[in-house]
Amino acid sequence: MDIKQLEQIKDTTFKNVGNRFTHAQLDGMNFDRQVLVCCSTGCSSESSQKIRERLAKLVEEKGLKRVHVGGTGCFGLCAAGPVVVVYPDGTFYSHVKPEDADEIVESHLVNNVEVQRLLYVDADGKTKPINEIESYCKQMRHALRNCGVIDPENIDEYIAREGYFALYKALTQMTRDEVVDVVTESGLRGRGGAGFLTGRKWKFTKDATGDKKYVCCNADEGDPGAFMDRSVLEGDPHCVVEAMAIAAYAVGADQGYVYVRAEYPIAVERLQKAIDQARAYGLLGNNIFGTDFCFDLEIRLGAGAFVCGEETALMTSIEGHRGEPRPRPPFPAQKGLFGKPTLLNNVETYANVAQIVLHGAESYNTIGTERSKGTKVFALGGKINNTGLVEIPMGTSLKEIIYDIGGGIPNGKAFKAAQTGGPSGGCIPASLQDIPIDYESLSAIGSMMGSGGLIVLDEDNCMVDIAKFYLQFTVDESCGKCTPCRIGTRRLYEMLCKVTEGKATLEDLDKMEELCYYIKDNSLCGLGQSAPNPVLSTLKYFREEYLAHVVEHRCPAGVCKSLLKYVIDAEKCKGCTLCARNCPANAISGTVKQPHQIDADKCLKCGICASKCRFGAISKM
């Protein structure tokens, strides 16, 4: 592959896909319409592959030669999936089923009439083209720039979007130092959680002496509710391949590994295809672009242990051992994989690199805040209307993310808190919803950026229960090596259980807090050191909720079963027996047309009775 060939592929492919990039018809295109079906995990789980196949079949049958049907990565609005977008119109179809394909083809593609019933309805009740949908307006898709735009399984489409031009530029026009410098100046920080300055990490690895060096990509995304890295790999795998090649050139490595969890089969498949295609084009392998730079890439599958997202554990796992962290120092930049200097970045970090190298540091460091540059991808989940993937400039407030981008809380409930950073992060209370999202602000309030999971909680969530949920995760996922994490988190979890059962004392709360700080101070790796964060941050912002459990033996959100009681209001009860017939524990008794009673000893507190009652006679207390 040389630059002429690359340019040629770009120009040829642009004629096929160019009018996806704009919302106006371009001249000289091979297709008038682009029908794009989201083929990421979320939409695939609802048969989007079948939609794509059906659409393609119908288009062929109808002889619509000027219509292209393609698959893409995630569009982001997963709550509206499966998603089909038609360009250049920008028509955004939501909740599409395979059988809807016929109507889309017949009505939209043949007769030029949009299928009204499938159009996405925005928060204001109107239907709009994709670029005007409110959720997208406040986003800045940088790392996700190709997700939902190109076919991730087609390297030519990636090249049409300037793909591999950054690698060419780095190899032929920049020294290794210049590459490191531009990444440093961009202000890009590690998107895996800790936020270490990426350029500095590259420099350490570049400066380390060693006969062999490695670059690794951490795609072992494990936070509950997080799917940023998966989406990038599914929607734009080549951007990771290209960035790793650039990184390898910069630090002097010739071998790379992508450590990705086996639970991501689509991501693994597409990444492997991307690697194979890049190899076939000579973009991986020996003497890339005719230079003396050689680099190849391999995938290593993780078996799903959360701790393998910790950098030293990840490398131990790649080496073929039980994935457990090892003490630092030595740091990976000095002594990493197989004892050699190793650069490790996560997927989203790499996803930003090619654009920075191609367009300069200013293209990136003008976005964001003083110390947190660029954009950040978040996986929005929990009690939020627009569940999905969003990318925002650093410094966007939590409020904007939740209300403007996320579409607010369903069912008119009140926003209570947002959990960021997964089991290592903390809860941000509604009172702090105006804080800008950046590394410093989040850690100042006891949470952390994390890899980008953002779980929204509403008034029906008990914060003690939430802390318990995250801690349970750590208890199960601790590697079991060091005492504070293995036993300490378990004891902490048991104390939380006491709180949710109404058996804890005020002294227990103090003991819990003390144990939290002990675990942070004494654990071997970041997993243990951050494990108490969900507990500490809820203790800090929702102490009154803990006190209600401890002092009043009451769960204000009505979640903790041990503290709940279901009662039947005798005045409202008509004696219809519906509750008694539905109770799985036979805990409700009473005669027909007479008020019924619940036997508290038998009651499982499942709430079925309350949901079945037509008279609103059953309430929890």
Partner 1 sequence: MISLKINNIPVYVNEGSTILEAARSIGIKIPTLCHMKELSELGACRVCVVEVKGMRNLVAACEYPVSEGMEVFTNTPRVLNSRKTTIELILSDHRQDCLSCERNTNCELQRLSHKYDCDSRRFEGRTADFVYDDTTEYLIRDNSKCILCRRCIAVCKRQQGVGAIGVNERGFKTHVACPFDMDLVNTNCIGCGQCINVCPTGALQEKPEILRVQQALANPEKYVVVGTAPSVRAALAELFDMPMGINCQGKINTALRYLGCDKVFDINCSADFTIMEEANELVDRIKNGGKLPMFTSCCPGWVSHIEKNYPELIGHLSSCKSPQGMFGALVKHVFVKRENINPKDIFVVAVMPCTAKKGEKNRTFTDGLADIDAVITTRELSGLLKENGILLNELPDSETDSPFGEYTGAGMIFGATGGVMEAALRTAVSVLDPNAKLLPLEFSEVRGLDGVKEATYIVGGKPVKVAVVNGLKNVKTVCDKVKSGECDYSFVEVMTCPGGCVMGGGQPIRATIVKHRDEVAKARAGVLYSADRSMFARRSHNNGSLLKIYDEFLDRPNSELAHKLLHTHYTPRPKYIKE
Residues forming the site for partner 1 (CB under 8 A): 305, 307, 322, 327, 329, 474-484, 486-491, 494, 515, 518, 520-524, 529
184: left (phi over 0), alpha (psi -120 to 50) or beta: alpha
In the complex, what is the shortest distance from the CB of residue 188 to partner 1, in angstroms, rounded to a whole number? 24
Please, what is the minimum distance in Å from the beta carbon of residue 511 to partner 1?
9
Helix axes 237-251, 198-207, angle to 10 degrees: 40
The DSSP bridge partners found for residue 419 are 427, 455
CB closer to partner 1 out of 531 and 563: 531
> What is 351-382 written as a DSSP string?
HHHHHHHHH-THHHHTSB-SSSBSEEEEEEEE
Query: In the bound complex, what is the minimum distance in angstroms from residue 351's beta carbon to partner 1?
Result: 30
How far apart are the C-alpha atoms of 161 and 142, rounded to whole Å? 13
> Which pair of tokens denotes residue 426?
């903390």
Nearest to 191 by CA among 161, 232, 153, 150: 232
Which CB sits closer to partner 1, 147 or 467? 467
β-strand 566-568 against 415-420: which pairing, if any?
A: unpaired
Output the six-digit token pair for 363. Answer: 């293209």
Least Å distance, CB 494 to partner 1, is 4
Nearest-angstrom CA–CA distance, 385 and 387: 6
Residue 505 or 586: the one with the smaller Cβ distance to partner 1 is: 505
Nearer to partner 1, 480 or 616 (CB): 480
* Residue 576 beta carbon to partner 1: minimum distance, rounded to whole angstroms: 44
State in angstroms the smallest separation of the CB of 551 from partner 1: 22
Closer to partner 1 by Cβ: residue 240 or 307: 307
DSSP class per residue in 466-490: HHHHHHHHHHHHS-S-SHIIIIIHH
Residue among 266 and 471 whose Cβ is closer to partner 1: 471
Could you give the 3-state DSSP secondary structure of residue 561? Answer: helix
User: Among candidates 228, 231, 241, 233, which has minimal Cα distance to 166?
Assistant: 241
Which is nearer to partner 1, 409 or 485 (by Cβ)?
485
Amino acid at 433: Q
What Rg value do the Cα atoms of the chain yield, rounded? 27
Smallest gap from Cβ 491 to partner 1, in A, equals: 5
How far, in Å, CA of 424 to CA of 530, rounded? 5
Q: How far is the CB of 376 from partner 1 (least distance, A)?
A: 24
Non-local (6+) Cβ contacts of 339 within 8 A are none
Q: Is 222:306 a contact under the CB 8 Å cutoff?
A: yes
Instruction: Tell me 258's DSSP state.
Output: E
Q: How far is the CB of 299 from partner 1 (least distance, A)?
A: 23
Q: Which is nearer to partner 1, 34 or 537 (CB)?
A: 537
Residue with Cβ nearer partner 1 (212 or 486): 486
Which pair of structure tokens corresponds to residue 148?
């939902």
